[in-house]
Amino acid sequence: LFSKSKPASTCLFPARWVCQFYYFYSSSPSISMLLFIRPVKQIWRRARFLHSLANMAKFFLALFCVVALAVFGFANGYEKKGEIGIFELKRGDFSVKFTNWGATIVSLLVPDKHGKLDDVVLGYDSIQEYQNDTAYFGSIVGRVANRIGGAKFTLDGVLYKLIANEGNNTLHGGTRGFSDVVWKVTKYQKDGSSPQIVFSYRSFDGEEGFPGDLLVTATYTLIANNQLKLTMHAKALNKPTPVNLAQHTYWNLGGHNSGDILSNHLQIFGSRITVVDHNLIPTGKLEPVKGTPFDFLKPRMVGSRINKLPKGYDINYALDDGTREHKLKKAAVVHDKKSGRMLELSTNVPGVQLYTGNYIKDVKGKGGFVYQAHAALCLETQGFPDAVNHHNFPSTIVTPKKPYKHIMLFKFSTK
């Protein structure tokens, strides 16, 4: 009965005790039993003492680790909620908070023309509400943003059938798109010269019907005062697959609780739209916007012609000079004259979806404020919707040798 992890000198039953037991047992069983019981008790006490010391050491080590992690986490703005957390990036008065549920922007504080800070994105007070959200507040959507007609496509001669979650079509990646998963935080620097957080997610082959394993990262960086940069990468690990990521934040530059955005002035640097049918599925045609309700070539109020549309805006604009994949170009500018806040959005992708929150109704948001239709607008830079079914649209196919890169630059100012 020797311990395998210790040398013989520290064995539980020393050799002399074994010999004594054998000698006295042969002459007097009663004496031998007395001699045996005493060392056994000593051994038991010693073992319990050593075991207690080991447990105490393990306890204090675990306690130290927990305290250290808590101190580090709170110092860096991390609020742990199971495996889902809240993270903040801060540069001066400019503050952005995120959750790794959907790599979501949950708040963005920026000053108005008088220096007053307001949160200019719609959202909720708790992570659970984001998990129950159906409006994609602040999240990254994918694997393919927007709609895929008929929830199917053909790639390299193979027909792929997807999960339909909007009638017969697939919207924003399906029932469990990238907005409804936990992303891993791979880097986090709360403040300093370049506050940054990096989220990553690995999508498996067959997820929501899409082919191939896909590794996705979303990097948010405060690159200057009142400037937020988002860089999204995707790498196909083994098969070609469509990828079209979009950031789905709802913006209200007057403040999330300031009412509708119909008086905001909007300019979009796209002279054509991708025409859609009654289900908002692209027909494959592009038409000029000049002189139509979709014309925002020059700044005009969002609500100036919105009543000429059934519910509001939900359309993709083909950005002018949209073929410059490796250079940033202006996509849109929004100005709220009352607060003076302006948002200028630039990107490297060919399209931007304008959505005016048409289907928001009685949504209880931050601080108990109830959001209604047109409470905000979304500017989702993207590849063209349903591009996988329209060969005349810019390709959204990613291969192991052709990765995906999507940049969004948000510049906030006052005027």
Mean predicted lDDT score pLDDT of the chain: 87
Give the tens place of pLDDT for each residue, 47-95. Answer: 555 556 566 665 566 555 444 444 434 333 343 444 899 999 999 999 9
233 part of the active site:
no
Which two tokens mark 230? 């988002």
Give the tens place of pLDDT for each residue, 284-342. Answer: 999 999 999 999 999 999 999 999 999 999 999 999 986 566 689 999 999 999 999 99
What confidence score (pLDDT) does residue 384 get?
Answer: 99
Question: First and final CA of the chain: distance in angstroms?
Answer: 84
What confidence score (pLDDT) does residue 323 get?
Answer: 59
Residue 37: enclosing H or E segment and its boundaries?
Answer: helix 29-75
Angle between helices 15-27 and 29-75 (to 10 degrees): 150
Which two tokens mark 66? 């927990």
- Residue 114, annotated ligand binder? no
Give the tens place of pLDDT for each residue, 349-387. Answer: 999 999 999 999 999 999 999 999 999 999 999 999 999
Measured CA to CA, the distance from residue 318 to residue 269 in angstroms comes to 8
DSSP per-residue string spanning 196-251 = EEEEEEEEPTTGGG--S-EEEEEEEEEEETTEEEEEEEEEESSS-EE-B-EE-PPB
Largest CA distance in the chain: 116
Neighbours of 205 (CB within 10 A): 13
248 part of the active site:
yes
What confidence score (pLDDT) does residue 328 get?
Answer: 95
- Residue 124, annotated ligand binder? no
What confidence score (pLDDT) does residue 7 get?
Answer: 36
Neighbours of 5 (CB within 10 A): 6
**What is the arithmetic mean of pLDDT over 161-178?**
98
3-state SS track over 262-278: CCCEEEECCCEEEEECC
Q: Which residue has the higher pLDDT, 184 or 45?
A: 184
Q: Check if the beta carbon of residue 265 is closer than 8 Å to that of residue 299.
A: yes
Q: Check if the beta carbon of residue 183 is closer than 8 Å to that of residue 100.
A: yes
DSSP label at 384?
P
Looking at the chain, the whole-number percentage of residues with pLDDT higher than 90 is: 77
**C-alpha dist (Å) from residue 12 to 1, 27, 46, 197:** 7, 25, 10, 53
Measured CA to CA, the distance from residue 409 to residue 328 in angstroms comes to 8
Q: State yes or no: pLDDT of 164 exceeds 60.
A: yes
What confidence score (pLDDT) does residue 11 get?
Answer: 40
Measured CA to CA, the distance from residue 69 to residue 212 in angstroms comes to 36
DSSP label at 82?
T
**What is the arithmetic mean of pLDDT over 233-250?**
99
Residue 378: enclosing H or E segment and its boundaries?
Answer: strand 378-382
Task: Please report how many Cα atoms fall inside a 13 Å half-sphere around the Cα of residue 166, on the Cβ side.
Answer: 18
Measured CA to CA, the distance from residue 227 to residue 76 in angstroms comes to 20
**What is the arithmetic mean of pLDDT over 154-159?**
98
Catalytic residue among 208, 335, 380, 406: 380
Measured CA to CA, the distance from residue 104 to residue 190 in angstroms comes to 16
Measured CA to CA, the distance from residue 190 to residue 91 in angstroms comes to 9
Catalytic residue among 172, 233, 248, 374: 248
Measured CA to CA, the distance from residue 103 to residue 197 in angstroms comes to 10
- Residue 45, annotated ligand binder? no
Which two tokens mark 162? 């997807």
- Residue 249, annotated ligand binder? yes
Q: Check if the beta carbon of residue 143 is closer than 8 Å to that of residue 241.
A: yes
Measured CA to CA, the distance from residue 381 to residue 347 in angstroms comes to 7
Q: State yes or no: pLDDT of 103 exceeds 60.
A: yes
Q: Check if the beta carbon of residue 316 is closer than 8 Å to that of residue 274.
A: yes
- Residue 389, annotated ligand binder? no
What confidence score (pLDDT) does residue 412 get?
Answer: 99
What confidence score (pLDDT) does residue 28 get?
Answer: 43
Which two tokens mark 37? 């019981």
Residue 333: enclosing H or E segment and its boundaries?
Answer: strand 329-335
- Residue 248, annotated ligand binder? yes
Residues in CB range of 68: below 8 A, 6 or more apart: none
What confidence score (pLDDT) does residue 51 get?
Answer: 57
76, amino acid identity: N
206, amino acid identity: G
